[in-house]
Amino acid sequence: MSFHAAQRRRPWRLLTPTLAVMALLMAWPLGRVVWLSFQNYGLREINRGTTNFTGVENYRDVLGDGYLWRTVLPNTVLFALACVAATVALGTLVALFLKTLPTGVRYVAASAIMVAWAVPAITGTYVWVFLFDAGDGLVTNLLGALGIIETGQVNWFLDRFSFFAIAWLNVVHHGFPFVAVTVLAGLLTVPEELYEAATIDGAGAWRRFWSVTVPVLKPVFAVVTILSTIWDFKVFTQVYLMPGGGGTNPEVFNLGVWSYISSFAQGKYGLGSAIAVLLTLLLLGITAIYLRTLFAEEDL
């Protein structure tokens, strides 16, 4: 074995123990979910310890259900895309602002916004529910005092659009600090000479951003976009804990909530597992397409 080949393989040898442990911890739950998705598995099978293999019947039921295409899939995809776009855009704007601050102030401001990311999703969701509560919510009372709505007569969580608008605010508020700090770390590595050269050439702030910042930080933007996509497509807490999201309003279910409700509320564990597998495949497909597009652009 040549020296260079050994050097290339050395990182993989060092990572092998960690990768093996991760594979072991992930393989069993994932394999179990896939196995259950091919069964009609409910409380009876749990009590008896038996299996009821039905092949692809669960997948046929899910994919043939108009509720998936009419409600659940649009809720999942459109909501996730809106969250990813807003999270990455807001995080980038905050990162650009933080870069203009003096070093000491920047550290304090970055630490302050990270509080939003450190707050558990459960806590953040209850805060947003309180803000938009139909009777005592701060936003509801403020709009009522301004005469925009009639206090006590508007329930934001009954309407599908307003429900997801609140969930969108919740998810973006919780996710943008990670993007901001990650992009800020990348911005601090961009040589100032590049910006100075672009300025001499007559480029304004907007042109410098697209011609200098974006190309240099393309790997950073790829990471935050992929991670945000994965997180936002499998949003569960921010939907399930809101009024109606826990099962009483099927019009606001996404794939994650639908899988949970089917499994634990209705006792259809096989059906719920099939929904979870389809969500995983959807995430893998989106990530693969994005990475392929990114690598194709780099090869040009």
pLDDT digits (tens, 9 = 90+) for 250-263: 999 999 999 999 98
At residue 41, the pLDDT reads: 85
**Position 97 pLDDT exceeds 80:** yes
Q: Tell me what the pLDDT averaged over the chain comes to.
A: 87
Q: How far is CA 232 from the centre of its chain?
A: 2
**Position 191 pLDDT exceeds 50:** yes
**Position 298 pLDDT exceeds 80:** no
Nearest of 236, 232, 254, 245 to residue 71 by alpha carbon: 254
Look up the pTM and report it.
0.86
User: d(Cα 176, Cα 198) in Å, to the nearest integer?
Assistant: 28
**Position 285 pLDDT exceeds 60:** yes
Which element (helix H / strand E) includes 294?
A: helix 269-299
* Cβ(194)–Cβ(49) below 8 Å: no
Q: What is the pLDDT of residues 161-182, one digit of tens each?
A: 999 999 999 999 999 999 999 9
Q: What is the pLDDT of residues 125-152, one digit of tens each?
A: 999 999 998 888 888 888 888 888 887 7
* Cβ(156)–Cβ(162) below 8 Å: yes
